[in-house]
Amino acid sequence: MDSRLVQDSQMAVKKSTDIFDKCFRFDKAKTLISHGLYPYFRVIESAQDPEIIMNGRKMIMVGSNNYLGLTSHPKVKEAAIEAIKKYGTGCAGSRFLNGTLDIHVKLEEKLASFIRKESALIFSTGFQVNLGVISALVGKDDVVIIDKMDHASIIDGCRLSFGEVKKFKHNDMSDLERLLTEYEDKDKLIVVDGVFSMEGDIANLPEIVALAKKYGARIMVDDAHGIGVLGKTGRGTAEHFGLEDEVDLIMGTYSKSLASIGGFISGSADTIHYIKHLARSLIFSASPPPASVASVSAALEIIENEPERREMLWKNTRKMFKGLKDLGFEVGPSQTPIIPIVVGEDEKAFIMAMMLQEEGVFANVVVSPAVPNGRALIRTSYMATHTDEHLDIVLKAFEKVGRKIGIIG
């Protein structure tokens, strides 16, 4: 063969060495955009209230995690404003060095008291809590055992640790026990979501606690979607099951019921002290801004002083669960204000979301890998501040769209 042809052939199959080549080839989102089916990064022009403004048009929001409706509460907003007046807009450094304010410490004390633990530590985001805590606690000779449906931040925290990572089938206690038996001689941390954020079901905490005791494991619960929602006084999944003393670590975020951004971990004083000095996502990140800290402090007081908000949230949840189910939708295993509508194929879910948007309803689309293939969802979530009128409009929109695309009727 001509040497020039061989050379040309080799050049033709030579692998690209441009690291950006994957960016140029990525076309999934562009295809959805070109077909008018892209449901992400939608721009909202108002507060996260039951009614929002998008593209100058009023819509009903059933895609927010603002469960108690506190992001617009006058006391929360006033607390943020007053904090900015006193402390400015930022801390200009990490908690470890110059960024710890007295309001950070006071909030940690308030959170520890609220969660009924000895101590608490606040981070700038909920994601950073799981990154920092898991990677600090799980060393090279340890095992971290997680539910297959745990949040991405838990998975990434495991990746940053030097320990062995094992997953058990979702809420499958026999599979969890299999792993605990296999690693009986290792130091073990079980990490689960209290409320699973996509389908709204609750971790089987009573059995997890029993197995942890049997096999000498510690338990960490990510209660991002449980705090403010579950339990007699809104203290989350552990309170819901009466197991507050049995769970070693409880993690929470502010971006749901606590009306801001950030997160915390709570547990024994010695454990929190250890995390405080080893969690890289705390030590090397800027401190939570004053407005956020003050907002959370105010939100905690409202949760304790206005239990009627939680009661209204559950009233709305029951109405929507029954309403959607009566219409014929498959609503999954939800036990919380997160109510998913199982659609099936990804493309159908994208179409449904855009049709709902045309009907004036903002709902979220969840596709693989966040859920298994063939189980794409329209994820809805409800607020204490939704009115019956809001919810009736949403049900009519779902009925209309569901019938059009053949999911019901």
Active site residues: 197, 225, 256
Chain-centre distance for alpha carbon 400: 30
Q: Do residues 350 and 37 lie in contact, with contact meaning Cβ atoms separated by under 8 Å?
A: yes
Residues belonging to the chain: 409
Written as one letter, the residue type at 168 is F
Give kind and range of the element (H or E) at residue 192. strand 188-193
Q: Which two tokens stand for residue 272?
A: 């929190």
Cα distance between residue 62 and residue 397, in whole Å: 12
Q: Which two tokens stand for residue 367?
A: 């596709």
Full DSSP string of 310-378: HHHHHHHHHHHHHHHHHHT---TT--SSEEEEEEESHHHHHHHHHHHHHTTEE-EEE-TTSS-TT-EEE
Q: Do residues 225 and 65 lie in contact, with contact meaning Cβ atoms separated by under 8 Å?
A: yes
Radius of gyration of the chain (CA): 23
Q: Considering only CA atoms, which of 380, 336, 341, 377 is closest in space to residue 225?
A: 336
Q: Do residues 254 and 292 lie in contact, with contact meaning Cβ atoms separated by under 8 Å?
A: yes
Look up tokens 């079901």; give the residue. 201
Cα end-to-end span (Å), the chain: 66
Look up tokens 């404003």; give the residue. 81
Burial of residue 84 (CB within 10 Å: 0-12, 13-18, 19+) is middle
| Region at 370 (left for phi over 0; alpha for psi -120 to 50; beta for the rest) | alpha
Full DSSP string of 138-161: --TT-EEEEETT--HHHHHHHHHS
